Structure 1
Amino acid sequence: MAVIAGDNEQLLAQIQQLEHERDELRKDIEQLCIQKAGPSYLVVATKMHFQRTAALEQEIENLKKKLAASTRDNLNLQEELSEAYRIKSQLADLHGAEVTKNLEAEKQLKFFQGCVAAAFAERDHSIMEAEKAKEKAELMFQKLDEVEKKMERLNSDYLEQQRFINKLQADLAKQLDENKAFKKVIDRFYGIRQQSFQDCEDTSWDQKCTCLLEDSSEVWSYNDPSTSKYITECLRRGIAVGAELCG
């Protein structure tokens, strides 16, 4: 653009210079014509003037054509330059948009990278927690197995104790039945004793046993050896069973 503007200025300067020379030449010819005023010289001067003027006019016309062409080229170049500036502006806008997109993409990329890193960290943490949970589960299974074995032993002991308790309950029931029978026997002997000693005082069953144990064998003698032996044996058994139950 600067080169074209310089060429146009140079052409304008040349046109102005030629027009100035043409005008000066016309003045010179007019002065010569006035001074000489001769017919022959006037024809020659006029002819020279026309030749010189025609050459100058032709040169001026050529320069004007060049100027017009240069002006058209300048306008075309200005239009092309404007179009280039417009395209450049569009490209700058597109570049700015792409830069913005790239920045946004970089932000999203960093965000997703952070998410991925967090996900990996969470995964590693979950794996560690899973391993810990697995170890705890294995330990719990071991403890559960020990508890089950202990429960089996306790159940076995419980069944054994239950069988023993059932046996004791059966023995106790049998002893209670025997005890009732022996109490009846002892009550009868003690009733005989009360009748013999005319003792109407009532007392507990333990005291009855004590009284019968402390009485001598002569108290229970009825001048019948077989009866005395029977009474003594019954009394001995009843007192022994009563003492065992009391103890």
Structure 2
Amino acid sequence: MCDTCGCALPDHRHAPERDARSIEVLEGLKTHNDRLAHHNRTHFDAAGVLVVNLMSSPGAGKTRLLEATIEALGGRHRLAVIEGDLETENDARRIRAKGIPAVQITTGSACHLDAAMVHEALPALPLEALDLLFIENVGNLVCPASFDLGQHANVTLLSTPEGDDKPLKYPVMFRASDLVLVTKSDLLEVLDDFAVDAVAAHVRRLACPAPVLEVSARAGRLDGWLHWLEARLEERRRPRFHPVPSTGDGHLLSRPRGLA
């Protein structure tokens, strides 16, 4: 467990005064992280790159999904990946083998990425030459949801062997999601205790409007995921509108930013 998110703090249930100090320290860490995340997002927005944070438990298929996504989109969009793991460069090597820039962050004992780690990785990437940057967070259904990295969207993967009740067991993670992907959906034919409808119902119970889509990198069933990405990319390309004063009729007009 790590010492940057509080999951390694000792049990303070019988020491309220120490609880207060721990909360103060954690709030300070989160405030600092949020400032850095805002700074990262400023970089991403200036470069015009869409940043998607992938979160899941270990083994849910994040890297395999990225490989399949690169194969599907690599010819149409400029992609890169930041990989997060406690140790090894295994996942980054897999991404580079697809001809895509990848930076590996090894966190040591930290069970999640944070904004500072991502910021340190950015100089190794050609941000101005990218359309889409994926951040593959450390495999963990708890801590990554609490740390803003500067991303524009959170995508949570839930693999069918894990069980369809995970949104109820890990509500913070799924409540923070902009999209939920049920991965390894090709196994639904042999798993009689997993229902995609149940996952969607659990997500709605959390008051989360995120779509729930089935994908299978192995079977090549990625259409919903790819359409979602294309829609987010299209949103990034649209001119932003901002109000400008009219010429005296009391109304405000809008025009694309940067246009005269």
TM-score bracket relative to the smaller structure: under 0.3
Q: Which has the larger radius of gyration?
A: 1
Of structures 1 and 2, the one scoring higher in RCO (CA 8 A, sep 6+) is: 2
